[in-house]
Amino acid sequence: MSAAAIRESLQRRPFEPFRIRLSSGDAYVVRHPENALLLRGGVYVAVPDPSGELPETATWCSLLHVAAVEPVAANAAGNNGG
What phi and psi values does residue 48 have, to the nearest 5 degrees?
-65, 145
How close are the terminal C-alpha atoms of the chain, in Å? 20
The pLDDT of residue 43: 98
The pLDDT of residue 52: 85
Q: Is residue 57 part of a domain?
A: yes
* CA separation for the pair 44, 82 (Å, rounded): 17
Q: Which residue range(s) make up the domain with 25? A: 3-71
Provide the CATH number for the domain around residue 67. Answer: 2.30.30.100
Q: Is residue 78 part of a domain?
A: no
What residue type is assigned to position 7 of the chain?
R
Q: Is residue 79 part of a domain?
A: no
The pLDDT of residue 57: 95
Per-residue pLDDT of the chain (82 residues; tens, 9 = 90+): 789 999 999 999 999 999 999 999 999 999 999 999 999 999 999 998 889 888 999 999 999 999 999 999 855 555 455 5
What residue type is assigned to position 51 of the chain?
S
Q: Is residue 32 part of a domain?
A: yes
For 10, the enclosing helix (H) or strand (E) is helix 3-11
Give the pairing of strands 27-30 and 57-62.
Answer: unpaired
Q: How many domains does the chain have?
A: 1
Q: Is residue 55 part of a domain?
A: yes
